[in-house]
Amino acid sequence: MAFAAFATAEAQTQAPKRKSRIALFLLLPGIAYLVLFFLAPLISLLLTSLQAPREFGDIGQFDYAFNWQNYTAVIQGYLPHILRSFGYALASTVLALIISYPLAYFIGVKARRRPMLQGLMLVLVIAPFFISFLLRTLAWKQLLSDESFVITSLKALSLMAPDAHFTGTPFAVIFGLTYNFIPFMTLPLYTTLERLDTRFLEAGSDLYASPFTVFRKVTIPLSMPGIVAGTLLTFIPAAGDYINASRDFLGGTETQMMGNVIEANFLVLLNYPAAAALSIILMAVILVLVGVYVKRSGTEELL
Amino acid sequence: MTTRPLPQDPMVRAIITQARQAQLNRRTLLTGAGAGASALALAACSPAGAQGKPTPAADESATDKSLNWANWAAYIDEDDDGNYPTLEAFQKESGIAVDYEVAVDDNNTYYGKVKDQLALGQDIGADLVCLTDWMIARWIRFGYAQEFDHGNIPNIANLTPSLRDVDFDEGRKFSLPWQGGFAGICWNKEAVPGGLASVSDLWQADLKGRVGVLSEMRDTVGLIMLENGVDISGKWGDDEYSEAIELLRQQVADGQIRNIKGNSYLEDLKSEDTLAAICWSGDITVINAEAGDKWEFAIPTAGGTLWNDNFLVPIGSPRKANAEALMNYYYEPEVAAEVAAWVNFITPVVGAKEAAAAIDPELAENQLIFPDEETLSNAYVFRALDGAEEQKYQAEFQSILLGS
């Protein structure tokens, strides 16, 4: 074991020294892909976000300029939506983690001796992917509509006020986000927990740690890579999601997120600079938040 | 640096114009060569907006007997095998092969998809599209539509007189109505047994939180303005618009209005999240057939809005004459009657009612498909907005849709 680790470490330090034309050549398709489908659109987005309306122009007509006021204007106009996006994304990430962790722990640790059960449960986690994301969200909307069994029962039990609704509320949007991103949280957690060496847990108990302390001091640190990967895979797309919050799905006029604002500015108002500026802000904020998060959880080497 | 004449290809032209605008000379281009420059060039492919008006493509209809028609879903007669009987008859009669595509599901998204090619005068893959009045107005204003040769469409004489001189296209030089409809109010007959008569009835207390309105600004705000006594086809300005918008904002804030939606408002009616709504006439006929005879539609006493979806030949289409032949065919009263009987919307063709009476007398009496003068006198077309107005009014309407 020790020798093997030493050997790989040596190979790693040696690798960058050798210049290989073949390696560069093999990288070309990847680089071309990134330039074509990431760099070019990004530059285009940046240029668009700085455009200014054409003088006496019609709706949707803009010229290239350095109109940085677009950014202050969208922040002033849409601050509630920006905050709401990250608030909803955070809430649904935490909820997804609370729901997924026990699930992943059961599949990855408790069900180890029963591969059939493990396989079956994994299939159940992945099964929702067999149906379109849009259809599933629409189905929830119907299942939780005012006259549905669930809502009428809750009202009969006085758990909901008689004139209350579920669809169109923040709860509905957070519910939808959580539901839709649970597999993205469960799978990374499962892959780390599946490799968890249970002998460490035994060792912890032998040292008179309570089960909770073992969980806090051993299980959680060992599953950190899964937690970080899962929360990132949930938080990033959830912050930019515009399906769940859309008025046509689970949202209402008071639950609109950044994605919905971008959509309205791009498609309806034809205010392309505002839509582009909002997209850049969304990317920048996510980048900063994720950077701080990864740094603070001290898991750069684990990623 | 001497200016050379620009090459013919519109894409290359656009790149060069963009490059000149960005003041890139040969040296900076060379220093930035490689990834950076190519990325910039690619980024420049998206035009910032029409610099001038694009020029129409040369017509090759004489040699190219084909046609691509982009239309909305469930908007043409269809038999059980998914064929379009009237369209097949046209193909046989004219020898033009028509590729009918259900490519439009929303005016705004369709426009978002094709606008850059239109600005460059390129073929968008459709020779004939059907879009709503206000969107057509935008295309005509921007020079994205080809002018018709009325000599190729003799049946234009069958166009309903009231639709001949619309404010966005005097004399119908660029557009022809395909089907139209009313926006009005509808309600669930079980939940609202007394029915509704006016838009104000939607604001009654026992419908709180169960009312839906459309995300189409001209229909929702138009109906409220009519209720306020404004003639939406005539002259009105910011004051009349703001009054209606404030009322709408208040009803949304009070929770009276549950949601503001596009086509998916029908799902809310079916699931009974909404019990009453502002809605489109033809849809109610369709959901009554689909989900039990539960809903009723009415044009409010103060008036309903009337809209049309119109044929238009995009600027880059090389098959204008073929498109004109097809429009001429659909302006035959017998053909129009056959389509109207299937789609349940209003046909703009005079004589279609008589033709329909020969097939099914009851159908010809349906006011939502073949409205008489009395019904039509209570329906109003939202006046055309100029660019600045459209921007301002849409921004106000969207601020309600997006909440705060």
A264 and B402 in contact by Cβ < 8 A? yes
Q: Which one-letter DSSP state was computed for residue A39?
A: I
ipTM score of the complex? 0.82
**Fold observed for domain B10-180+309-372:** D-Maltodextrin-Binding Protein; domain 2 (3.40.190)
Record the tokens describing residue B168, joined without a space: 């966005």
Q: Return all residues near B403 (Cβ < 8 A) that are at least 6 apart.
A: A80, A252, A253, A254, A255, A256
Rounded CA separation A239/A285 (Å): 10
B264 and A266 in contact by Cβ < 8 A? no
The distance of Cα B142 from the centroid of its chain, to the nearest Å, equals 16
**Domains (ranges, CATH) in chain A?**
2-302 (1.10.3720.10)
Annotated domain spans of chain B = 10-180+309-372, 182-306+386-403
Compute CA distances B97 → A69, A217, B92, B155, whole Å.
52, 72, 9, 21
Question: Using one digit for the tens of pLDDT, what is the confidence trace for B105-135?
Answer: 889 999 999 999 999 999 999 999 999 999 9
Which residue of chain B comes nearest to A166, CA vs CA? B273
Q: Does B109 touch chain A (CB under 8 A)?
A: yes
A59 and B260 in contact by Cβ < 8 A? no
Decide if A275 contacts A262 (C-beta within 8 A): yes
Chain A to chain B, count of Cβ pairs less than 8 Å apart?
Answer: 120
Decide if B262 contacts B218 (C-beta within 8 A): no
Rounded CA separation B278/B28 (Å): 58
B209 and A163 in contact by Cβ < 8 A? yes
Strands A52-53 and A62-63, sheet pairing: antiparallel
Compute CA distances B281 → B124, B133, B388, B400, whole Å.
31, 17, 30, 25
Q: Which residue has the tokens 């001949």?
A: B164
Instruction: Give the closest residue to A82 by CA, choosing from A240, A237, A258.
Output: A258
Domain B182-306+386-403 listed as CATH 3.40.190.10: yes
Type of residue at B83 = N
What pLDDT, on the 0 to 100 scale, is given for residue A209?
Answer: 93
What pLDDT, on the 0 to 100 scale, is given for residue B66?
Answer: 94
The distance of Cα A86 from the centroid of its chain, to the nearest Å, equals 11
Question: Using one digit for the tens of pLDDT, what is the confidence trace for B354-370?
Answer: 998 888 888 888 888 88
Question: Using one digit for the tens of pLDDT, what is the confidence trace for B29-76?
Answer: 444 445 555 556 665 555 544 457 888 988 998 899 999 999 998 889
Type of residue at A146 = D
Which residue of chain A comes nearest to B393, CA vs CA? A269
Question: How is B263-331 classified by DSSP, letter by letter?
Answer: TTHHHHHHHTS-SEEEEEHHHHHHHHHHH-S-EEEE--TT-EEEEEEEEE-BTT-S-HHHHHHHHHHHT
What pLDDT, on the 0 to 100 scale, is given for residue A251?
Answer: 92
pLDDT along chain A (303 residues), means of 10: 40 58 90 94 95 87 92 95 96 97 95 93 92 92 90 91 88 96 95 93 94 94 92 94 92 93 93 96 94 78 52
Residues of chain A in contact with residue B272, where contact means CB-CB under 8 angstroms, are 145-147
Tell me, yes or no, if the two domains B10-180+309-372 and B182-306+386-403 fold the same way: yes
